[in-house]
Amino acid sequence: MTHPTQAEARVALQAAERARQHVIDRLGLPMWYWWGLAACWIALGVLADLHAAWWLVAAATVAVGAGHSYVFQRLDAGRQQSGDVRVRADVAGGHTHLLVIGFLLALVGVTVGLALALAADGAGHPSIWASVFVAILLVLGGPRVMAWTRGRATERTTAR
């Protein structure tokens, strides 16, 4: 039985590190997720501004929440990009779910606060304007949150 040389071991370790980084680079949520969520956000703002019945707005909100929950779980915060690779939670980071949910809850607060401020200022269709603003934040900010998650995963694996 022969043992690898230092050069062979170094090459093997570099190949393993490249493979690990390739998997980390796949972490994230696809752009269609952010665009779909933004469209749903705007649709809820439109419903609110059309003065739809409260129960219709509530039912639509629950439907969007349930749909988001289903899609997010299927995507598993970027850990299930394909059928052949599934990133372990300790590589992806257990905080990813909390980070995305926290991001969305903060955007709910921004939507409500901005809509109330616009309504107080007399703006027409304050819910639509607030939801469009937040939809832009979703499309621009969501991928940045995922990039931060990938950076943290790289830091964790490098620190080992």
Q: What is the pLDDT of residue 119?
A: 95
Confidence of residue 83 (pLDDT cuts 50, 70, 90): low
Question: Which residue reads 């779980």 in tokens?
Answer: 73
Closest by CA to 67, choosing from 86, 39, 46, is 39
Of residues 7 and 20, more confidence is placed in: 7
Closest by CA to 71, choosing from 39, 117, 25, 24, is 39
Confidence of residue 24 (pLDDT cuts 50, 70, 90): low
pLDDT of 41 above 90:
yes
- Work out the mean pLDDT of the chain and round it to a whole number: 83
State how far the Cα of 12 lies from the Cα of 160, in Å rounded to an integer. Answer: 17
Q: What is the pLDDT of residue 91?
A: 56
pLDDT of 87 above 80:
no
